[in-house]
């Protein structure tokens, strides 16, 4: 059975999230094939700590996405992996006191040794100095681009691929990350200004200049909101697919289904949407593999 046949069979199941996934495949395929559509890819840092990092990089390499919006932690994990930092498969039921005493941080069932952040500091402090010698003020988007342009080449790095292929990465609230911490530490002896307002102008221009917009949203939080809120400027997204494990009962943005965004004008009333409840590490590779199988 091919992946396309598998997805077709899911469409015959007639129940629950299988139909949402089948619809999501169709929407993403149409987004990619629509030459008038600017495609946004939004994801959270936990997914970069997994193997999905290489899927994001491949989407950029194929020029299937036009804009990335993510958290600062995504940049951290991507750079650490590019420079050989190790991540280990662990357990959700781990002894966290024992891990703490062994200098291991737990991210779900992924173990992240503290030494990775020493590696990140060594890499970033050198890169930040190079950037500072060229310019004293940068936007967050420019900062990430300059890092990607200077970092060690890695085909599986979405930061490297984005710089190489001129795909902008926006990271609202980047200071809430190890990247933000490294900029703070750098500025103990320098004055590198990171201007977040410049990002808003650039992102607004992208939205205004787009004939249509579509979004693939993995997870929630600030990266999801920055994606859908920016599209408020043009009356909302034309296409959107969201994969989330959060629930809508508490009114959280992460759990909000995409139809809720219609009430805010962040998705068009006639927008084509699908909210898929489930683990993105399972669903997203299936979705992308199915879409790839149907592209020219």
Q: Could you tell me which of 213, 222, 291, 224 has the C-alpha nearest to residue 257? A: 224
| Cβ neighbours, 10 Å, residue 45 | 22
Q: H/E element holding 227? A: helix 221-230
Q: Could you tell me which of 54, 42, 266 has the C-alpha nearest to residue 168? A: 42
Q: Could you tell me which of 269, 274, 271 has the C-alpha nearest to residue 284? A: 274
Q: Is 135 a catalytic residue?
A: no
Please, is 41 exposed, middle or buried when counting C-beta atoms within 10 Å of its C-beta (0-12, 13-18, 19+)?
A: buried
74, 46 Cβ separation under 8 angstroms: no
Q: Which of 81, 224, 266, 268 is catalytic?
A: 266
Identify any residues that bridge with 216 across adjacent strands, giving them in sequence order. Answer: 41, 241
C-alpha–C-alpha distance, residues 148 and 133, integer Å: 17
Enumerate the active-site residues. Answer: 266
């Amino acid at each position: 059975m091919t992946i396309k046949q598998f997805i077709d069979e899911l469409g015959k199941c007639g129940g629950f999230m299988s139909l949402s996934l089948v619809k999501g495949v169709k929407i993403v395929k149409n987004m990619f094939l629509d030459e008038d559509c600017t495609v946004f890819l939004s994801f959270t840092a936990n997914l970069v700590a997994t193997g999905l990092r290489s899927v994001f990089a491949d989407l950029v390499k194929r020029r299937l996405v036009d804009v990335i919006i993510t958290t600062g932690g995504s940049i951290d994990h991507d750079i650490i992996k590019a420079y050989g930092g190790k991540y280990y498969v662990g357990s959700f039921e781990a002894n966290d006191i024992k891990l703490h005493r062994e200098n291991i941080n737990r991210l779900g069932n992924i173990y992240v040794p503290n030494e990775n952040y020493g590696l990140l500091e060594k890499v970033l402090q050198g890169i930040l100095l190079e950037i500072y010698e060229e310019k004293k003020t940068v936007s967050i988007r420019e900062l990430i681009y300059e890092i990607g342009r200077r970092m060690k080449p890695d085909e599986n790095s979405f930061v490297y691929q984005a710089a190489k292929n001129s795909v902008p990465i926006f990271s609202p609230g980047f200071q809430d990350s190890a990247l933000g911490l490294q900029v703070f530490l750098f500025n103990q002896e320098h004055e590198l200004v990171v201007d977040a307002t410049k990002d808003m102008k650039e992102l607004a221009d992208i939205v205004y200049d787009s004939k249509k917009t579509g979004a693939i949203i993995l997870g929630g939080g600030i990266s999801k909101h920055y994606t859908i809120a920016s599209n408020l400027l043009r009356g909302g997204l034309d296409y959107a697919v969201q994969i989330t494990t959060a629930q809508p009962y508490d009114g959280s943005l992460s759990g909000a289904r995409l139809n809720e965004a219609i009430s805010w004008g962040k998705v068009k009333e006639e927008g084509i949407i699908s909210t898929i409840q489930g683990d993105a590490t399972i669903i997203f590779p299936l979705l992308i593999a199915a879409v790839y199988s149907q592209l020219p």
